[in-house]
Each structure stands twice: as structure tokens, then as C-alpha cells.
Structure 1
Amino acid sequence: MDLSHSAADEAFRVEVREFLRDSLAGEWGALRGLGGPGRDHEAYDERLAWNRYLADQGWTGLGWPVEHGGRGLSLHQQVIFHEEYARADAPVKVNHLGEELLGPTLIAFGTPAQQQRFLPGILAVQELWCQGYSEPEAGSDLANVRTRARLVDGSWVIDGQKVWTSLAQYSDWCFVIARTDPDSQRHRGLSFLLVPLAQPGVEVRPIEQLTGGSEFNEVFFTAARTDADLVVGEVGAGWGVAMGLLGFERGVSTIGQQVGFERELDSVVDLARRTGRIDDPVIADRLAAAKATLTVMRLNALRGLSLAEHGGDSASGGGAASIAKLVWANWHQQLGELAMDVAGPDGLTAGDDGELDQWQRLFLFSRADTIYGGSDEIQRNILAERVLGLPPEPKGTL
């Protein structure tokens, strides 16, 4: 793994840094630091406008091929952009699911007609997307989905329920995993459908979270429809498409996540200095351990990206994606606990207006880190069965 940057890469870093500095010094400056997990309700309309401004200035689809409207930047340059974006404390974009997940999936698996129809709207941030994977009886176990779709008069008719659907209340479309073969089981017979949400057969119900926001939603499909040709990949072969998308989910944008984690850790260290808890040897040791682990996490993330760039999959990389998810989710959860220990009694009470401070929000939302995006249990099963070749976990009920 080569971590060095060329002169062209460093010139690109200067370009990104200057663009963000100038842009965030003007009308967009008030948006610094807004958005993110547990805070997606913050200045949503303004952040949408900012995301469209980025698109107008050519800062979306950085890694997409040029022939699909992207900039075709190298992995190193994509890493540089996400690092500088996080360091500038720029507002969290609202188009992550479309730009970073569905767009690359359509490029890899979609038909030319699907690419022509949807990629321009994703790049321009004119059509927003959510992810219809998890269900009440199929969270991390996606092979157990019960949402069904059948072809009727040239349309897929969809019935079922999805849950934990991030930002569905703001989205125009949802990419949905549904069972299109009623006689199939587990991974077989699933299809990857593109479904419009603005129709009578779709109901979105926001779920109020501990942090006070409603990033997650329930989505109910009752005879909802989408065109027959809006299935990505082969009918019944949606599992492979779904897994391909999850690979993109743990792509280059995770480097920006690492920088965000660094900022959170620095804020906890600053709090420890203000409260005097930095003089507690146990607290100081935990802070130092968190810093060391964060450094290892970044290097591991870069190694995983390097493997992916050179054709390595999760197995050849030692289950890099699953390892990374296990490490960062538990690290971030422990950081939330550490923040509460540093805050002391003040961490137990909200403000006069009931608002949570940044450390309370960090603690509460991080409880979900080991569940969403594939729970710890599922990640460990992937490593055990697919990487180490251990016998599969017994199926059935007690």
C-alpha cells in the first residue's frame, strides 16, 4: 500500500482546500458542522441547496467514469477530497445514498437506459434516494426479506414493509430488495427494484429517535408500482446487486468518516482539559488508546481501499470491509461512553430547552453503530464462514 501522494495529488489538495475555504466563507458559512448521524434534520433545505451548489461546481461523482458524467478521479484524489471536506467542517451532504451507493451500482449493474435515466439526476442532486433493505423480520439478515413483487400488466406490484430507511421522508425514489419468485428461499429469487415514492401505494412514517431527530423511517408498500424495466440486474439475481452496493457503501467516503471521528475525539480531549478530567490517569489512558486505535483504523481503511482498487474482494483482503465495520462501530460507541465519563454529572441533564449537547448526542446515537449497516453478529458470521471457512451457524428456531 503506497500512502504517498504525487505532486499532482498535492496540487489537487490545494484546489479542494481553496474551493471549500472560499465557498464556506460566504453565504454557506453558517452551515459548517451541520448534519450527520442523529442530526440529519439540521438545516436540511439549506444543505440540499449546498449539495446542488457542489454539483453545479463539478464536485459530485468524483470517482464516477467520465463517460457517465463523473470526473474519473483516482482513488488518491477521492481520498484527498473526503479528507479536506471533513477537515473544512463542511455540512454533511444529503445525496450520499444516491451518489456514493446507487450511482456506482447502476454503473456496474444497470442497463444503458437505466443509466441514462437516473445518473444525471443523481449527479445534479435533483432526485434523492433511500435504501429499502431492512425489514422488521429481516434486519441484517437480508436473505429473509418478505417484501414481495409480482409482474402485472407491465409493472411490478410491490407489497411489504421496510424499516430503518434513512431519509425516506426526503427521498423521491427507493431502491428495494423484494422477493419476485414466491417459491424461492433465502438469497435466491430476490430482485433489486427502483421504486418511485410519490404514489398512493407508499406510506412513509418517520421514527423518532433518542436524539430527537427522525433520520430513520418505516416505509409501507401496498400495491405500489414500478415499471417492469426498473429491475437492476437479472430478475431473481438481486442478491448479487445488493451485495455489490454494500461494497460501495464501505468505499472511499469512509476516509472522511475517519476525519470526522478525529474531530469528535479532539472535542472530547478539549472537554477533558476544561473539566480537569485529563488529570485522571484512567481517563488519560483511555483517550490515548482511542487516538492510537483511530490511527490504526485509518491505515486499515486505506489498505482496504487499496485492495479494492486492485481487484481484491472481501475474502482476499481478509474480510477487510467486515473488520473495518466491527472496529469503527465499537470504537465510536466507546468514544460516546468516554465522552459521558469526561462530562461527568453534567452529561446527565439536557439544556433548559431540552436540547442535547454534542457529547450527549454522540453517546445516544452511537448505540446504533453496532447495529445499522450490518450488525456485529452478522459481520462476525461473515468473517467466520466466508473468510475463515468455519461451519455455518445452525439455522432454525429454538
Structure 2
Amino acid sequence: MVNRLSSDLNINDRWVLDRLSAWARCESPSSDAAAVNRMHDLVLADVAGVAGIAVERIAGRDGIGDIIVLRSGRQAGGGTLLLGHVDTVHPLGTAAGKLPVRQEGDLLYGPGLYDMKGGVLCAILALIDHARRGCDAPVTCLLSPDEEIGSPTTRALIEMLAIGRARALVLEPARTGGAAVTARKGVGWFDVAIEGIPAHAGTHHADGHSAIREACRQIPLLEQLTDYARGTTVSVGEISGGSAKNVIPGECRFSVDIRVTSAAEAMRVEESLAALQVVDQRTTMRRSGGFNRPPYEKTAGTKALFAEAVMLAQPLGIDLHDVPMVGGGSDGNFTAALGIPTLDGLGVEGGGAHTWQEHCLISSVLPRAALVAALCDC
């Protein structure tokens, strides 16, 4: 592939290898604010002193790391919003244990490299290139500390920064063969709590009203909302309850994961969840949660943005294509739901996201950074 970033960046695949290796060793699980902030420090070291890039660091809250906002260009209306995250799912110690940082040919293994420190590097290189060429087009880059846990502290800022933008480019990893993402399902996370009446299982069994038994009635009703033809899935992924083996259980809790393809389908499923009634009238049921990420549908604006990206990718040796709507969410769901043309999956090629085999292709970084830079110029 061809690298067409500004020649004065003076970088190559060796530089990429060294930088990403250091970033992978700087582990940054979402739950560890200090670790996330150390990763931010490394990123900011690469933009320090670059003329034309303004840095804003927003202090973290609720035990979550800082948010970084970088700006280049004249900062008028329109322009591009770049979205990335430095948090990962891997706990501290992964690089010293099950996923050591290592190179095998063009593959670089390490925690968070594919999802998505490689994509963050693409964004940073594109932003530096944009600034050094003195481009006027406004570009804002937000680096999140909490995308892997649903973006609880960054969603509002992402939506605020997205308003009025011409496009949003999301540096989540590329799909197989370097494919981009142009649509994602909406994601709903709900918790259901059932309270029954506890009783001694041996001496007062008839006095008890089992919360677990009621949960076992409700769970099939929920999972029956799955409709593959509509692209809807409903799954109960965690369940807990009871206090002892000889006690009729007085409480039971379970979590529900919902994926939908449209806002209308999200409403249908949410209404069905709200309409569920307990069978045992001596038990009660409480529901909480909601749709954490709205559906990201492939609009006419996103189709046009993708067509533009295909054209810009060709001189870089990238045969860009997209994939059908994917089940996992990203921060692109927020921008797409606001009507902003959104192109996702622009990060590095690789595989093994969230596993002990996570890796990226070293050779994919510079061409994909060049593609992001070209899109920022539009």
C-alpha cells in the first residue's frame, strides 16, 4: 500500500511498530482512570509542540479517565469530527501474561492494538498531517476513556461536538479485508429485579414465593422477542439470586442485552419489555436501563460519504468496501442518530479484538491514516 501523508512527517513502518508497541505496553483498561490517563499522556506527547493543534484535556469523573479533545483548522462550522478511544477491555497485566507485545512478520500482537490503539494512531497522524499542511478545514478529534463501557461520561460531549459537522469518522478497527462500517445495530442494556417472599424450604415451603421461579417464567418471554428476520436479538446474559440452598429465594436479578436495526424496532422491544406482567402475584418486578446506543442506520448522507472514501482510497492502494450492518455498537451510533454522515471502521486492519490473539497489521496504519487525512480535507 502507498503512504501519502505529508513527507515531512518522516515516519515509516518501523516508527509505527515502535510507537504501537509502547502504546500496547501502556495498558489502559476502562476501569482504571490512572492507567487511561497514562495512555493519554503518551498520545499527547506526539502532538506536543505541533503548530496548529489545540489541546483540551477534560478531567475525568465518576472514576473514569480524562477526555482529550484536539483541534486543527479554522474551527468554523462544518468540517470533520474524528472519534477514537484509548480504553481497552484487557485488565492490567495482560501484556505480561496472556497477550505479550510481540511482532510476527506484519502482525503486531498486544492488548488493545486492534481495538483501537492502532486506530487512535491513524487519527493522530491524520491530524498532525492536517496541521502541518496548514489546512483550513476544521477538524476536531475526541479521544474517549470509556467507550468500551458504553461511553457514560463522553456521550453528551460527542453529541455536542457532532452538531453541525459535515461528517464523523470513527477509527474503530476495520473489518475483514479492510472493510469499513456504514451501519450498526442499536444496543439496549436492561436490568430486571424480581422480589418474592423468602421462606424455609423445609418447614414453610408453601409460604414462599420464589423470585427465581418467576424469573424463569419471564426470561423465555423476553428471549422470544428475538426476531432474526428483523435483525433483532434479545439475550439474558447474567442471572443471580437466592440466599441459601434451603431457602425459597426472595430475590433474583438478571441482565438483558438487546440489539435492533432501527429506532422503530427499539421502541417495539422496549414497549414489550415494559408490558411484561408477573405470573405469581405475590412477586414484584422492576426494570431499569435503556438503549445505550441508538441504531446507526445507513442514510443517504452516509452512502455519499462512503462513495467519497472509496474514491480517495484508490490512489492509496486501498480497495475499500463496506459490510452489512454489524451487531456491535460504537460512538458512531451517537453521531449517526443525529443525522451526521458517519463512516466507521476506518482504523487498522487486524483481528482478535477482546481476545488473547488481538493484533493489528503494521502495514495498514500509514495508508489508512492517509485516507483519514484525505477525508478531513473534504
Greater helix fraction, Structure 1 or Structure 2: 1
TM-score, normalized by the shorter chain, greater than 0.5: no
Task: Point out which structure has higher relative CO (alpha carbons under 8 A, 6+ apart).
Answer: 2
TM-score class, shorter-chain normalisation, is: under 0.3
Larger radius of gyration: 2
TM norm structure 2: 0.26
What TM-score results when the alignment is normalised by the length of structure 1? 0.25
